[in-house]
Chain A
Amino acid sequence: MSFFLQQLLNAMQVGSVYALIALGYTMVYGILTMINFAHGDIFMVSTYLAFAASGLLLAHLGGASPLVIFVCTIVVAVLGTSLLAVLIERAAYKPLRNAPRMSAVITALGIGLLLENSFVAIKGIGPTPRMLPPLIPAGEVHVGGITISSLQLVIIGLALLTMLALDLTVRKTMLGIAMRAISWDHTIVPLMGVPKDRIISLTFALGAAVAAVGGTLYGMAYTIDPYMGIRIGWWAFISAVVGGIGNIRGAMLGGFILGFVEIFTPVVLKSSSYRDMIAFSLLLVLLIFRPTGILGRTVSQKV
């Protein structure tokens, strides 16, 4: 039992990172009905920003407490990644807003691969896996039969906090109302004075910011490399689709489901190499029976 709970905790840890990235997919899809296939690689860039920021901050503010550096790292990663996402949106997606929908999707695929392969090619980054310096003081909490490390506590706690903040933003703030209004109707809402382009850019920024929180947390727990965007990005994407793409709470639910799949596949099958196959098969089976995901609403096709 305690073994199961311990694994469940690990699943929560991975799942919360997936959920954070899945939110970016789901928000962009919600507002533009576009799959931003570059999002996984934007997440990858955020881990490198966190890596660079934490390294620089440690070198220059060596005296400061690690916690301050941790907070600064997250802030740098969030701001940098948001800026990148907005730049990509303005340069590559905005000109295609009136083009056939698949053009934007294919462009996103290209941007993702461009980021990935550029990062491999850039001198000083390369394909070598790296690790963020430890910024969270080591420590353990024992609850019942399970052990929770301070890192796990921070990851799960901060992820939940971010999700809560995002959920509130979308439901309660003016920005959230504008986002939902634009996703409801693209043509009428701008006529009522809602700055459509700015809201769309902010949606991309918000999605990237949430992914950057996930990226920093992920970088502290696992190694990072330029190709991580593929795997983590895809898993997060599947999370978004499983939960119902376009639905924010669905993305969170999907993230935890995928975290569960990731942790329990090796436990059940004694091998981790089937993880991807199981995740993608799950996706296909789900698409057959519930094409809009678990919490997704059905959209009827206009003729």
Chain B
Amino acid sequence: MHMRLLQFIQRHRVPLILLAAAPLTFLLPRYGIINPYLELVLKYIGINIILTVSLNLINGYMGEFSVGHAGFMAIGAYAGALLTVRLFPAGLGPVLFPVALLGGGVAAGIAGLAIAFPSFRTRGDYLAIVTLAFNMIVKSGLENIPAVGGPQGLMGINKLTTLPWVYLWVIIAIVLARNVVYSRHGRGVLALREDETAAELVGVNSRRVKVLIFVFSAFLAGIAGALFAHELQFINPRSFTILKSTDMLVMVYLGGVASLGGSILGATVFTAVLEALRPLLQWLHISAEWRLAVAPLFLVLLMLLRPRGIMGHREFGFLLPAEYRRQRVASRGPGHPGPAGGPSGTSGPTRDDDTEAVA
């Protein structure tokens, strides 16, 4: 009995740890063990993890290029905020918050559908143009709708984003993304990245896969947007420019393409570094404006020095489904026990190039 309990704990240690941490997300801020600033940073990290996972699905796993992901986030933020501000009765805001989040996600998902269609015909550079244009159109559109505040933005959003909600959605996002990536369709996604024509020939329905990934990715970005709106309590179109999209790109390429663990790492490191920069710049008597120049600089250096990120195409063991873990251990041969979740080994097929050769 005792052995079986130990075995159970051993096998399910990650979910158990996550479950055990859940009450902490209530208790730590509640009793002032972490100060509000740290709580805020943790929330931003969570929101950024969701965004990074979302973008990594398209840019990392599928090998298509979205450089206008802030557009999806904006749609989710505005849709979610409009639901709680305009539609829901004032008192029921906190109760209906999950509905608002889902609303934001669904609205962004519909936009994702709209972007999936051009992706059937255009690849590489041109799809980058399409997504960029999408980002610009969303921003410009929001600026021209007086009902959502126009260029001034939407104010009076309730502060409903709490640490437990962010925590829950980070887990949901990662679990869903993992299940999509390692599903049958997910294998199709990887096949598409390697060679679209060959994937079609072995029976991958490229259109269906692309729609699935775009809609799902946009959905996650929308959820993150809605969380962001209810944290900041104020959104305007300028929050969702190309600069925001670039931040997401940095987090994806810092953490590593085609890696969920990398997404978590990238979002955490990037957010933490950017926060640490505030006091650092002040201490060095450098104008705070320079903070904005850091993310692009990061991106350029990353591309030059480590284009696939900290753990590109690799995965933490605990993020792999059981059968992949077993495969990995088996492939190491006898006498080599699998690592207990260290960042080693590869997940699925890997290759050095992320895109097709010049057509």
Identify the A interface with B (CB < 8 A): 33, 35, 92, 95-96, 99-107, 109-114, 117-118, 120-121, 123, 186, 230, 234, 241, 273-274, 276-277, 280-281, 283-284, 287-288, 291, 299-303
> What is the bound-complex CA distance between A118 and B144, given in angstroms?
29
Whether the Cβ atoms of A121 and B354 lie closer than 8 Å is no
Whether the Cβ atoms of A106 and B249 lie closer than 8 Å is yes
> What is the bound-complex CA distance between A274 and B142, given in angstroms?
11
Whether the Cβ atoms of B122 and A291 lie closer than 8 Å is yes
Whether the Cβ atoms of A99 and B307 lie closer than 8 Å is yes
> What is the bound-complex CA distance between A35 and B307, given in angstroms?
18
Interfacial chain A residues near B209, Cβ < 8 Å: none
Whether the Cβ atoms of B67 and A106 lie closer than 8 Å is yes
B86 CB-CB contact with A under 8 Å: no
Q: Which residue of A lies closest to B297 (CB)?
A: A114
Evaluate whether A100 and B296 lie within 8 angstroms (CB atoms) in the complex, with A106-B249, A277-B144 already known: no
List the 7 closest A-B pairs by CB distance, nearest first.
A121-B289, A110-B299, A113-B296, A117-B293, A117-B292, A114-B296, A276-B140
Whether the Cβ atoms of B287 and A33 lie closer than 8 Å is no
A35 partner, pick from B129, B243, B295, beta carbons under 8 A = B129
CB proximity to A under 8 Å, residues B89-103: none
> What is the bound-complex CA distance between A110 and B125, given in angstroms?
16
Whether the Cβ atoms of B359 and A301 lie closer than 8 Å is yes
Q: Which residue of B lies closest to A111 (CB)?
A: B300
B205 CB-CB contact with A under 8 Å: no
B137 partner, pick from A99, A107, A121, A281, beta carbons under 8 A = A281
B40 CB-CB contact with A under 8 Å: no
Whether the Cβ atoms of B299 and A120 lie closer than 8 Å is no
> What is the bound-complex CA distance between A300 and B197, given in angstroms?
14
B118 CB-CB contact with A under 8 Å: yes
Interfacial chain A residues near B354, Cβ < 8 Å: 100, 102-103
Secondary structure call for the A interface: helix
Interfacial chain B residues near A111, Cβ < 8 Å: 296, 300
Q: How many residue pairs between the two chains, A and B, have CB atoms under 8 Å in the bound complex? A: 127
Whether the Cβ atoms of A96 and B140 lie closer than 8 Å is no
Whether the Cβ atoms of B358 and A123 lie closer than 8 Å is no
Q: Which residue of B lies closest to A98 (CB)?
A: B353
Identify the B interface with A (CB < 8 A): 65, 67, 118, 121-122, 124-126, 128-130, 133-134, 136-137, 140-141, 143-144, 197, 242-243, 246, 249, 253, 287, 289-290, 292-293, 295-300, 303-304, 307, 353-355, 358-359
Interfacial chain B residues near A277, Cβ < 8 Å: 137, 140-141, 144
Whether the Cβ atoms of A33 and B293 lie closer than 8 Å is no
Name the distance in Å between B118's Cβ and chain A's nearest Cβ.
7
A234 partner, pick from B136, B299, B303, B355, beta carbons under 8 A = B136
> What is the bound-complex CA distance between A250 and B297, given in angstroms?
33
Name the distance in Å between B300's Cβ and chain A's nearest Cβ.
4
Evaluate whether A113 and B243 lie within 8 angstroms (CB atoms) in the complex, with A107-B300, A277-B140 already known: yes
A274 partner, pick from B67, B124, B144, beta carbons under 8 A = B144
Interfacial chain B residues near A301, Cβ < 8 Å: 359
Name the distance in Å between B139's Cβ and chain A's nearest Cβ.
8
Sample of 21 A–B contacts (CB below 8 Å): A35-B128, A92-B300, A100-B355, A101-B124, A102-B124, A102-B128, A107-B299, A107-B300, A111-B296, A114-B293, A117-B296, A120-B289, A120-B292, A273-B140, A273-B143, A274-B140, A277-B137, A283-B129, A284-B137, A287-B126, A291-B126
Whether the Cβ atoms of A110 and B126 lie closer than 8 Å is no
Whether the Cβ atoms of A288 and B140 lie closer than 8 Å is no
Whether the Cβ atoms of B137 and A280 lie closer than 8 Å is yes
Name the distance in Å between B179's Cβ and chain A's nearest Cβ.
27
Evaluate whether A113 and B122 lie within 8 angstroms (CB atoms) in the complex, with A101-B358, A273-B143 already known: no
> What is the bound-complex CA distance between A35 and B134, given in angstroms?
17
Whether the Cβ atoms of A96 and B303 lie closer than 8 Å is yes
Whether the Cβ atoms of B293 and A121 lie closer than 8 Å is yes
Interfacial chain A residues near B298, Cβ < 8 Å: 110
Whether the Cβ atoms of A106 and B303 lie closer than 8 Å is yes
Interfacial chain B residues near A102, Cβ < 8 Å: 65, 124, 128, 354-355
Interfacial chain B residues near A283, Cβ < 8 Å: 129, 133
